Chain A
Amino acid sequence: MKVLVSVKRVIDYNVKVRVKADNTDVDLANVKMALNPFCEIAVEEAIRLKEAGIASEVVVASIGPKAVQEQLRTALALGADRAIQIECDDLPEPLNVAKLLARVVEAEQPGLTILGKQSIDVDNNQTGQMLAALTGRPQGTFASEVKVEGEKAMVTREVDCGLKTVELVLPAIVTTDLRLNEPRYAKLPDIMKAKRKPLEVKTPADLSVELKQHSRLLKVETPASRQAGIKVDSVDALVDKLKNEAKVI
């Protein structure tokens, strides 16, 4: 069985996000970028399936400018076999991503496609679900456990009321939650080897997908800073302030 993993290059989770002075977007100049943590979990899960003898090949795909090759190489160093970059100047919105990935799924015919549940930059949480709809494959989202048994995958999902296990008939789509696994560190020799693993570059035109813009970013603002609190010296003063200043009682 082949496993396809899609990964995204995002702002590193250690970096404090700043808004551009003109409020047009988040400032990415000189900022450290990294593999989206949920995508890293997806890569780890695919590699574990390969190590368990269930997956025969792990293919990683990413969409974006040449810089995303850095994240693809990271995935290759972690253990993926080959990579596909779909070259775009900007990072397209989820429906476009899902359409591009649907074409990759069509061409590669993976038994399992694993994605992060969302990217930590825009937090859309849409691509996996859209990809399932476009490819007509069953989906198990927010996975905290994935067990592949023959032609089926048992996926434990983290939902509001607890854990829910679904049985999917392969081929299927899975999106990962935080507790699915703890990703490994890449080893030095593997990082060197990853430089020589195959990385194919395609364009949306190669995949016959026309990118369409369905939404427009109007403005990005930082949250209003919280006012400093005060100490009151008695219960009466507190009640008075709640009643007359805050007007909540």
Chain B
Amino acid sequence: MRESMEFDVVIVGAGVAGLSAACRLMQQAQEAEQELTVCVVEKGSEVGAHILSGAVIESRAMDELFPDWKEMGAPLNMLVTSDELYLLKSDTAAKKLPNALIPKTMHNTGQDLNNYVVSLGNVCRWLAEQAEGLGVEIFPGFAAAEILFNDDGSVKGIATGDMGITAAGEQGPNYMQGMELHAKYTLFAEGCRGHLGKQLIEQFKLDNEADAQHYGIGLKELWDIDPAKHKPGLVVHGSGWPLEGDTTGGFFLYHLENNQAVVGLIVDLNYTNPWLSPFDEFQRLKHHPVLAEHLEGGKRVAYGARAITKGGFNALPKMTFPGGLLIGCNAGTLNFSKIKGTHTAMKSGMLAAEAVFEAIAAGNEGGSELSSFTDKFEASWAYDELFRSRNFGPAMHKFGPILGGAFNFIDQNLFGGKLPITLHDDKPDYAQLKPADQCKQIDYPKPDGKLSFDKLSSVFISNTNHEEDQPCHLKLKNPDIPLQQNLPTFAEPAQRYCPAGVYEIVEEASGPRFQINAQNCVHCKTCDIKDPAQNITWAVPEGAGGPNYPNM
């Protein structure tokens, strides 16, 4: 029998959605002078260790959660001062787009816009301090490994993973059994493609009425740049080269404080060419003059990658089920037309907190499906802006970046997102790959060690570590698929879509062998999303494993 602990609310994941929910729950409990026990489990070694985001954030949700966040010292220090958008035409040419031609949602400066360049990791660390100050128990280093159910099928809570299991699956010398955390309500805030969220969506058929979800992979680096080139608050976005044909995506480059800048590339995971390597696209992108002029003379500090849920409104699953809710990017509340998800993730967490607290305060014993959340969500600005942006992603997928962009300009700027049509895009990302022999192989340039780097030296500065002696957390449903199907048909794309070099085809005298270097895994979840056979399941490794991102 596992030990168990009882809480009013258990939250899985100390990201912005989970922590906003935790804070909002406690604020209400204090206002009502009611006792409430809230616990947050986080698989990273500390809060922020697994947080990776651009990030330019809109302060709207923060303004509501902590109206005096500025005085309280929230790390939203860098207001966006200028905003540039480029279309890269080749490895050297670029066209800077005039503001008037850019869909309104993508503007970061101007009247009434309060956008900040932040490290989302540091925002989470700050939110965690506030939550702990309000009385929330936060447990970093504890991964929620399984969902627990009541006899009536409602969610009862979660169990943390066992620690100290050896690679052979036996109990090692420092074995510690996982614990059951029971709650009246459990909020799942694992971020994009949460492994428990995925099970909940399936179990409760939450996506029955939604389009297929769509994803991107975001790769990001943090740089110390030449102080002479530092323009605090400058935000640069763009698309085009090096992504070709039907591969879409876009890059970002933001100037933070302290002579630091972040640079990143998002590649939509509906790409069709199995030879594509998002990592290598990112590395060569940095040589384009538009980006290189900021980075030359600088030094790379950190690297990481994370998948992004970007299907938006049409792909948003039902967020409630008996005994809990799915919030933030675990559901998919990101507004892709703004390239922002923090404010909507926070808002979904705050609304979930309100629905849960109202139920508990009214004497509800837990396990119910809180449809009051759905009413609150549908009445909120978060829902309104997701609705207005519902065509943005599908238009890009359907019409490509140029015509899709034109559609979005008309839809967003002339009709405010209220064109009376809804575009759908129902083909899941994993089903998009074409056979390798029908696609162009891509010859990526060698990294120069100054602006571009190889995969292993990149993973090295993600500070990733997993206890070596533990079972592999990347589970293959059928171990033969990589060599028997994926290799001959798609030249095993996992070797290339994985940004951390986890998957390798090793050529041996006896033939090729599929190798999983699980200790490299940066927890981005791309393999779980893009494997054409949907054969890879990302499960949580031992708690505290994974990257140790600084201010990412």
Contact = CB atoms under 8 A, between A and B. Distances in A.
B174 A14 contact: no
B3 interface: yes
A183 B179 contact: no
Contacts of A57: none
Contact of A32 (B181, B258, B259, B463): B463
Interface in B411-430: none
A21 B224 contact: yes
Q: In this complex, which of A12, A14, A184, A187 has the most chain B Cβ atoms within 10 angstroms of its Cβ? A: A14
B5 A189 contact: yes
A43 to B, nearest CB: 14
B453 to A, nearest CB: 13
A32 B164 contact: no
Interface string A138-171: 0000000000000000000000000000000000
Contacts of A185: 163-164, 174, 176
Interface of A is mostly: loop
A30 B464 CA distance: 16
A32 B163 CA distance: 21
Contacts of B164: 185
A14 B465 contact: yes
A14 B550 contact: no
Contacts of A21: 224, 259, 299
A32 B46 contact: yes
Interface in A1-47: 12, 14-16, 18, 21, 29-32, 34
B530 to A, nearest CB: 27
B252 interface: no
A47 B119 CA distance: 39
Given A182-B173, A183-B174, A30 B45 contact: no
Given A18-B301, A21-B224, A188 B142 contact: yes
A191 B40 CA distance: 13
Contacts, number: 56
Interface in B378-437: none
B66 interface: no
Interface residues of B, number: 32
A21 B3 CA distance: 49
B2 to A, nearest CB: 11
Contacts of A67: none
A237 to B, nearest CB: 25
Contact of A188 (B5, B119, B122): B5
Interface string B286-324: 000000000000010100000000000000000000000
A209 interface: no
B253 interface: no
Given A184-B174, A188-B139, A188-B160, A16 B5 contact: no
A239 interface: no
Interface in B430-467: 460-461, 463-465
A31 B119 CA distance: 13
B551 interface: yes
B176 A187 contact: yes
Nearest to A21: B224
A185 B259 CA distance: 39
A220 interface: no
A205 B4 CA distance: 45
Contact of B45 (A12, A187, A188): A12
A238 interface: no
Given A14-B465, A185-B176, A191 B139 contact: yes
Contacts of A18: 301
A30 B119 contact: yes
B41 to A, nearest CB: 9
Interface string A176-205: 000000111101110110000000000000
B49 interface: yes
Interface string B109-120: 000000000010
B146 interface: no
A187 B224 contact: no
Given A185-B164, A189-B5, A31 B45 contact: no
Given A16-B461, A185-B174, 13 more contacts: A12-B463, A16-B463, A18-B301, A21-B299, A30-B551, A31-B550, A32-B46, A34-B45, A182-B174, A184-B176, A185-B164, A188-B142, A188-B160
7 contacts: A12-B548, A15-B463, A16-B461, A29-B258, A32-B463, A185-B176, A188-B181
Interface of A: 12, 14-16, 18, 21, 29-32, 34, 182-185, 187-189, 191-192
- 6 shortest A-B CB distances, which residue pairs? A30-B550, A30-B551, A14-B465, A185-B176, A185-B163, A15-B463
